[in-house]
Homo-oligomer: A and B are copies of this chain.
Amino acid sequence: MPANMISKILEKAVLPLEVIAPHVKTEAARTSVLRNPNMEKLQKGYLFPEISMKHEAHLKKYPDAKVISLGIGDTTEPIPRVITSAMAEYALALSTPEGYQGYGPEQGQMNLRKVIAEKVYPNMGIKESEVFISDGAQCDIARLQMLFGPNVTIAVQDPTFPGYVDNGVIVGQTGEADEAGKYAGISYMRCAPENHFFPDLSRVPRTDVIFFCSPNNPTGHAASAAQLRELVDFARRNGSIIVFDAAYAWYVSDEEEAGGGDNKKPRSIYEVPGAREVAIEICSFSKFAGFTGVRLGWAVVPGELRYADGSPVARDFDRIVCTCFNGASSVAQAGGLACLATEEGRAAVRRVVGVYKENARVLVDTFASLGKEVYGGADSPYVWVRFPGRRSWDVFAEILEKTHVITVPGSGFGPGGEGFVRVSAFNSRDRVLEAAARLRKYLA
């Protein structure tokens, strides 16, 4: 791995002050402002910095190793030219009196909202006014948690992307974390092969908000129509709000999406009848168009979604968007429009998704050929591999030691991920093939 990639990963880490500001004396003056107790509750250990450190240590031990990262879910394929050309054109036009635009609407350009409603949610009754353009799903999670505030109760899948919980901790929805890393006040819904990665809802307590990610990060499982119907019914019975994270929706295979009846894998929660009254959906251009750095996403908040007092959730969310945010970059929005507005753009991003999906297939086949229990990959860029009776970090270390391949320990996504590793398909075909060859050779 080149040095600049390592430093890039390290830059993403939350570093100790000695690194952030080595010039600061520890005996420096203090204000008398009390630290936000919610910030104190956040756990100290972060997954990716920990992985970076182990990566670094590995490179010290094996300076000539060609490390291949199948760790962090960062896109690697170039963005199709039809999309970057649109961004470049938009940027250059900002230098002309006709093309210059100042503040756009905080909710996003209406043409982009419209094309998302039409192209991503055909026949689902989503209006352009219900689509709020954002700078990415992670930021929308933060804004949604600000919207809900400290008094709501939440449920999350276990394992899951840590953002839902961390933002809940920051706004004050939780107590302290226990030794396993579970915060008091949060309902963790176990999702494992044994329950087809779908919780037994008869045993899940009612919460105000349910965060549900499908296709799931990290398990790669795309919920079936039957599962999502069950989820929506559960929310409707309980008067709960679902936040459906569809960041990986474009990875659902066409045949799965087209499949009839219960086994169909919906790409949106709004394919499920009754979802409009109980569900918000968040999505992102990051993983399907390679916009991880460009930053663009959206949230759908249907007008029917109401609080107990009858007031529309969309109105408060609109206020959050206008007060805490000022719209996504207009240049990024021009790129988003190019992804979706024409068949050329849509075909281009499908091709990129296809590259990662083929990578995922290679990885699934590799682990399967090694006799491993392997999940995900078919409708997701993530492959979820079980190592029964072993600890995730030990498996991570063994794979790194034997093959110089970086994975992610499943336990980093919650206690329910223990005994698994997540393997990401986000890398070049060559590197994925090389990684697969090493895995076959050294893990056999």
Interface residues of A (CB under 8 A from B): 8, 11-12, 14-17, 20-21, 23-24, 26, 28-39, 42, 72, 74-81, 83-85, 87-89, 91-97, 99-107, 110, 127, 129-130, 135-136, 138-139, 142, 146-152, 163, 166-167, 170-172, 208-209, 235-236, 238-241, 277-278, 290, 292-296, 302-312, 314-316, 318-320, 322-332, 335, 426
Contacts and interface: CB of A to CB of B under 8 A. Distances in A.
Contacts of A76: 100, 102
A305 B312 CA distance: 41
A92 B103 contact: no
B94 A239 contact: no
A350 B149 CA distance: 42
B129 A295 contact: no
Given A239-B33, A308-B33, A329-B294, A170 B146 contact: yes
Contact of A295 (B72, B83, B329): B329
A323 B142 contact: yes
A34 B307 contact: yes
A277 B170 CA distance: 25
B294 A24 contact: no
A306 B95 contact: no
Contacts of A110: 11
A20 B303 contact: yes
10 contacts: A28-B304, A36-B152, A42-B323, A87-B88, A87-B94, A139-B326, A167-B324, A293-B330, A295-B328, A295-B329
Nearest to A99: B78
B170 A323 contact: yes
A38 B325 contact: no
A14 B318 contact: yes
Contact of A319 (B24, B42, B79, B163): B42
Nearest to A135: B135
B95 A323 contact: no
A171 to B, nearest CB: 7
A278 B30 CA distance: 8
B305 A31 contact: yes
The 5 closest A-B pairs by CB, nearest first: A21-B303, A32-B239, A36-B149, A142-B324, A11-B105
B326 A135 contact: yes
B136 A21 contact: no
Interface of A is mostly: loop
Contacts of A292: 102-103
A294 B152 contact: no
Contacts of A312: 17, 20-21, 24
A278 B138 contact: no
Given A30-B307, A37-B149, A146-B146, 19 more contacts: A8-B104, A11-B105, A11-B110, A12-B105, A14-B318, A32-B208, A32-B238, A34-B151, A34-B208, A74-B102, A75-B102, A76-B102, A78-B97, A79-B95, A87-B91, A94-B293, A135-B135, A295-B326, A296-B329
Nearest to A325: B139
Contact of A331 (B35, B89, B91, B278): B91
A290 B31 contact: no
Contacts of A102: 74-76, 290, 292-293, 426
B146 A323 contact: no
A218 B101 CA distance: 23
A30 B304 CA distance: 8
Contacts of A127: 21, 23
A119 to B, nearest CB: 20
A151 B331 CA distance: 38
Nearest to A88: B88
Contacts of A172: 149-150, 172
Contacts of A11: 104-105, 107, 110
Contacts of A15: 318
Contacts of A296: 329
Nearest to A91: B87
B100 A37 contact: no
B78 A136 contact: no
Contacts of A316: 35-36, 39
